[in-house]
Structure 1
Amino acid sequence: MSAKDIYHDVVKTALQKDGWQITDDPLILTFIPKRQLKIDLGAERLIGAKKENQYIAVEIKTFLAPSSLSEFHAALGQFLNYRLALRLKQPDRQLFLAIPKEVHQSFFAEEFTLLSISEYNLKIMVFDVQREEILQWIN
Structure 2
Amino acid sequence: MARDIFHSNVRDALIKDGWVITHDPYELEMGSPDYEIDLGAEKIIAAQKGVEKIAVEVKSFVGKSAGYEFHQAVGQYRNYKSALDDIEPERVIFLAISEDIYESFFKLPFPQKRLNEDKINLLVFSITDKIIVQWIRQ
TM class, shorter-chain normalised?
over 0.9
Which runs of no fewer than 5 residues in structure 2 stay unpaired? none
Which runs of no fewer than 5 residues in structure 1 stay unpaired? none
Provide the aligned length of Structure 1 versus Structure 2: 137
> Alpha carbon RMSD of aligned pairs, Å?
0.9
Residues of 2 paired with 1:51 and 1:111: CA distance? Answer: 36
Residues of 2 paired with 1:118 and 1:107: CA distance? Answer: 15
Q: 2:26 matched to which residue of 1?
A: 27
TM-score (norm 1): 0.96
Which amino acid counterpart does residue 24 of structure 1 have in structure 2?
A: H
| Structure 1 consecutive aligned stretches of length 4 or more whose deviation exceeds 3 Å | none
Describe the SS at the equivalent of 2:34: strand
Match of 2:88 among 76, 83, 90: 90
Q: 2:8 matched to which residue of 1?
A: 9
Which amino acid counterpart does residue 124 of structure 1 have in structure 2?
A: L
The share of aligned pairs that are identical, in percent, is 43
Match of 2:106 among 105, 108, 119: 108
Residues of 1 paired with 2:21 and 2:88: CA distance? Answer: 16
Q: Which moved more, 1:44-53 or 1:102-111?
A: 44-53
Which amino acid counterpart does residue 92 of structure 1 have in structure 2?
A: E
Q: 1:132 matched to which residue of 2?
A: 130
Q: 1:58 matched to which residue of 2?
A: 56
Which amino acid counterpart does residue 8 of structure 2 have in structure 1?
A: D
